[in-house]
Copies of this chain bind each other. A is one copy, B any other.
Amino acid sequence: MRRRPPLSSVTTTGTVLRDGAFGHATGLVCRECGATQELGPHYACAECFGPLEIAYDFPAVTREQIEAGPANIWRYKALLPVPADIETSPNTEPGFTRLLKADNLGRELGITNLWVKDDSTNPTNSFKDRVVACALSAAVEFGSKVFACPSTGNLANAVAAAGARAGIKTVVFIPSNLETPKQVNSAIFTESLVAVEGNYDDVNKLASEIAGEEDGWAFVNVNVRPFYAEGSKTLGYEIAEQLGWRLPDQIVIPVASGSQLTKVDKAFQELIKLGLVEDKPYKVFGAQAEGCGPVATAFKAGVDAIRPVKPDTIAKSLAIGNPADGIYVLDITRRTGGAVEEVTDEEIRAGIVLLARTEGIFTETAGGTTLAVTKKLVESGLLDPELETVVINTGHGLKTLDAISDQVGPAATIAPTYEAFAAAGII
């Protein structure tokens, strides 16, 4: 494993970080006021408390260099805040998941040229493995002694697994009323799963408190969030590379905090600037559930302010009532000529079955949401069915079995004889 410098010597004014600890990243820049600060475990602007983002000074990068890399996100290491020797540090090696041409689904939706980017085949079966891998690298470089998160699902799985593999202590905080199967999916990887009496907001608040009180804790989505969030860019890079170094015309992305959508757009912009793809227009669409659609509501109302909501939807991994990056989602979808749409739980369930029956992909409720929104966008004319379109599937249906258990089942129950089979009229 890489040598870790002690965290105590990492400050905003002077660090002992090793050379190239964050690759070509040059600092943290505030997305609101533009103030910059040194790279460190910080997430809020020292000037205005705005969200911080990684700034880079990219070298020349060629398609050939990337294609010669490993079949995981580290093929894009030159564009991430990670060291050049990142592959030598134990990690889950996520990414480079399938981009499937979805002709069956396209026929059902009336879209002539449709692709599904399937992140359900990542190490812990969601896109979170990408962001957590980047957060882990930062935690290692900062010399963090604990790798942690508050979560109810995919993030908890990803953090616990990545920490186990890296040999770093993990602590994962969950609401104590979480169903047993979801507890097991994280507890299998860590001896320090902590059940908190309260809802997810309570768990989240406790995490922020601990991050403030304790030294050496890297909370992936709190104090190392700027590094973590960059991992979502790899979804955009992969889609472009897998299309043959070309941007799609349209892309549909689920919106929880909104981070993924903003980072895919950032990735596309970077690829254009680096000359790795041709500059062309593309439309970005956001997908939400009606039970938690604050960004869709703002988009449709034509306003800039997002009014927080109390989530009530089966799409639990999208249930963020006050999305941190919601305003950026509005900016991007409006700038590119896209939209943000929302669908009912019933439409989400139908979306899950539709994707499975047409393309053999079992998606979680978030993916069902994205599918259902895509269908709705075609019907309303906001999405052009003649343009090349990519839909992102962010996670696996095995994690949200409850949502769909009563929707599908055996077509028939028969006696174990050929006669019984023949009489059942199966085909």
Contact = CB atoms under 8 A, between A and B. Distances in A.
Interface of A: 71-72, 90, 92-93, 96, 98, 100-101, 103-104, 118, 121-125, 146, 160-165, 167, 169, 171, 174, 176, 180-181, 183-185, 187-198, 202-203, 205-206, 209-210, 213, 352-353, 356-362, 396-399, 401, 404-405, 408-418, 421, 424, 426-427
A94 B356 CA distance: 16
15 contacts: A90-B103, A90-B104, A98-B123, A104-B164, A121-B123, A171-B427, A174-B410, A181-B401, A188-B356, A189-B356, A189-B360, A191-B357, A194-B414, A194-B426, A196-B413
A391 to B, nearest CB: 15
B421 A206 contact: yes
A96 B98 CA distance: 11
Contacts of A359: 164-165
A170 B45 CA distance: 56
A103 B164 CA distance: 12
Given A191-B411, A416-B206, A162 B360 contact: yes
A171 B426 CA distance: 8
Given A121-B123, A362-B189, A196 B161 contact: no
A195 B399 contact: no
Given A121-B121, A193-B410, A418 B213 contact: yes
Contacts of A163: 360
Contacts of A197: 413-416
A396 to B, nearest CB: 8
A100 B93 contact: yes
A360 B164 contact: yes
A360 to B, nearest CB: 3
Contacts of A397: 188
Given A104-B165, A196-B413, 10 more contacts: A92-B360, A165-B359, A184-B401, A184-B408, A188-B352, A188-B353, A188-B397, A188-B408, A202-B416, A210-B418
